[in-house]
Amino acid sequence: MDSSAKGNAYTVGDADTRPWGSWRVIDAGETFAVKRISVDPGQRLSLQLHHGRDEHWTVVAGRALVQLDDEQVELGANQSVHIPVGVKHRVENPGPDPLVLIEVQVGEHLDENDIVRFDDNYGRA
């Protein structure tokens, strides 16, 4: 999908393995996508932001260290955080067990091209 196009490029069953873990789409509609994200112990996602979506993260297993702009928040199972459009964010797994979170994306532009990376442990920024 063109990065300027609106819409949802995700379909149920889409999945990918990343250096930090993996994600899989478990539900999707015209203006939303729901992903199950697994972050391996000691790994973290890139510091990033999105122009076309808000995200809501709910931890279902493990512990999460979440960066929202300059703020750090630690979350455990059944705790969540809202990430508004345009806010720099990342999640890290500081624990010895896999971190599993459910990510709900809501917006008019949902695809992997709406990721602006600022810092990345894996050379993708």
For the segment 35-83, what is each residue's pLDDT rounded down to a tens digit?
A: 999 999 999 999 999 999 999 999 999 999 999 999 999 999 999 999 9
CA distance 83 to 121: 21
The model's pTM: 0.90
Q: Which two tokens stand for residue 29?
A: 């509609």
CA distance 96 to 119: 23
Residues 6+ apart with CB under 8 A from 116: 48, 49, 50, 51
What band does 5 get if pLDDT is binned at 50, 70 and 90?
Answer: low
Residue type at position 111:
D
Residue 2 has pLDDT above 80, yes or no: no
Domains and CATH numbers, the chain: 8-119 (2.60.120.10)
Q: How far is CA 74 from CA 51, 67, 107, in A?
A: 25, 9, 26
